[in-house]
A and B are shown apart, each in its own frame.
Chain A
Amino acid sequence: MAQTLTRTPTRARTKAQIVDGDIHNAVASDKALYPYLPERWRQYHAQFGMRTYTGSIYPRANPNAARTDAWPPSGLPPGADLSFLREQLLDAWNIAYGICNPLVGIQGPYVEYTAALARAVNEWQAAEWLDPEPRLKGSIVIPYEDGDLAAAEIDRAARDPRFAQVLMLIRSREPLGKRRFWKIYEAAERNGLPVGIHFGGAGGNPFTGAGWPSFYLEDHGGTSQVFQAQIASFVCEGVFERFPNLNIVLIEGGFAWLAPLMWRLDTSWKRLKDEVPYLHRAPSEQIRQQVWLTTQPMEEPAKPEHFVQLLDHLGMADHLMFATDYPHWDFDAPDQAIPARLAPTVEAGIMAGNAKRLYRLS
């Protein structure tokens, strides 16, 4: 059906309150972190530099994976200019709070260096984003391939209540339920912080079980494969049973796939319980209690009523949280993103209420 629609771009198009669960504030350059790095690591950073983002070998549609209108007039990269981010995102859409998820290559094998880098990124967030802009909340970046160093950084950074969560990336070196990551979950639970796990990462494994695909389209459209593997790992390794107050947020991984995965895990669990006798709750129960999901990029079934059915299957509309993914090219516009008419209370929960409850935003 062809349609001619008329809309006025931006300028506070939305009246209802919005919390944005996924904003990518960017480090402008390597040098931007120098003030936050001790001399030894500044020298290492200058001389050897960050390990590049080897998990993401696909050219991402646009430079910096950004909307082509998101390059600030200041010449800084997309997401690196706070005043432009305010104008193009926070003010334009009446965003009450936004969760910052800086994507910085801190997954390198030299963990002492990545621990210093993670701390620098967290101090940079506090000084350059959270101090000047109270609508923004931070995510604690951690050297998560090392549980002890990561837990220490969580304990240090969590003293600043403006950090809303711990941040990891979905493509780890090993499945995230494994024991070597438990100190991270223990520290997050101890500090009352959810663990957000975002699309991407450089663990070295392909995101599929079939090897490395050729195209970014496969990476973008197929990323739920690695999210599924990680959720199965969290459940089966007993992470949710061992840390019953831990909340995991899946960011930019979709959500339509989760209901059928829960059905299958529940069915198999009933038959294979002896293999994992420490699982006292059904997988679906653990997931519905302790997993949260952001919406972008939104599921867009061809028939809007299928979206409503999807939420019914999922049974987690109270754990779904709207996100824009600004400034990236697959940005979801707050007033356009939800593809079906939902009950007003459900929609208000997705757009703001659920995130306010999880992140304790007033």
Chain B
Amino acid sequence: MDEIPPGTRKIVEVAGRSIGVFNIGGEFFALRNSCPHQGGPLCTGRVSGFVIAETPGEYHYSRQGEILRCPWHGWEFDIRTGQSWFDPAKVRVRRYDVTVAPGSAIATVEPPPAPGLAPGPYVAETYAVSVEQHLVMVDVPG
């Protein structure tokens, strides 16, 4: 736990998988270090927040430190849930309403992290994390 102070991350190998463990303000989250878009090393990407503009010329910034951007193409993922987000007003990709596949449950029930956002097409693989006696435990299903 001491190796991952708030605002930092550590990339570990667990059961042959590369996993990024993130500390956001004392809460721990784990994501698979592989972007569901093209397989880039997701957890090595920059951590930032969301820039939202409801109209041109107005901006607000939210959730600093909770959004992970893939180092390749910049896809944004919510570290807390693994959900990707995008702005449908800016990105004209509207083909995600046809099929609701298993695994989309998070996408359909979770409220947007900032106004104006819709769930993106990707969900990064997440793992349950617990803290026991200053050890961060990542639960990787067999």
Complex: how many Å from CA A114 to CA B38? Answer: 39
CB neighbors of A among B47-87 (8 A) = 69, 71-74, 82
Q: Are B122 and A329 in contact (CB under 8 A)?
A: no
B residues within 8 Å of A by Cβ? 17-18, 32-34, 36-41, 44-46, 69, 71-74, 82, 93-96, 98-101, 103-104, 106-107, 119, 121-125
Q: List B contacts of A329 (CB < 8 A).
A: 72-74
How many chain-A residues does the 8 Å CB contact rule pick out? 27
Q: Are B72 and A331 in contact (CB under 8 A)?
A: yes
Q: List B contacts of A10 (CB < 8 A).
A: 39, 41
Q: A67-B72, A329-B72 are in contact. Are A5 and B36 (CB under 8 A)?
A: yes
Complex: how many Å from CA A229 to CA B116? Answer: 38
Q: A61-B74, A68-B44, A331-B72 are in contact. Are A1 and B98 (CB under 8 A)?
A: yes
From residue B136, how far is it (CB to closest CB) to chain A in Å? 22
Q: List A contacts of B99 (CB < 8 A).
A: 1
Q: A9-B34, A67-B72, A302-B93 are in contact. Are A2 and B122 (CB under 8 A)?
A: yes
Partner of A2, one of B38, B44, B123: B123
Is A7 located at the chain interface by the 8 A CB criterion? yes
Is A336 located at the chain interface by the 8 A CB criterion? yes
Q: Which residue of B lies closest to A331 (CB)?
A: B72
Count chain B CB atoms within 10 A of each CB in A2, A10, A62, A302 and give the residue with the most. Answer: A2
Complex: how many Å from CA A69 to CA B33? Answer: 13
Q: Are B41 and A3 in contact (CB under 8 A)?
A: no
Q: Which residue of B lies closest to A8 (CB)?
A: B34
A residues within 8 Å of B by Cβ? 1-10, 13, 61-62, 67-70, 302-303, 329-333, 335-337
Complex: how many Å from CA A6 to CA B140? Answer: 13
Partner of B101, one of A2, A330, A333, A336: A2
Q: Are B98 and A9 in contact (CB under 8 A)?
A: no
Q: List B contacts of A331 (CB < 8 A).
A: 72-73
| Shortest 7 CB-CB contacts between residues of A and residues of B | A2-B104, A69-B71, A68-B71, A336-B38, A7-B39, A2-B107, A333-B38
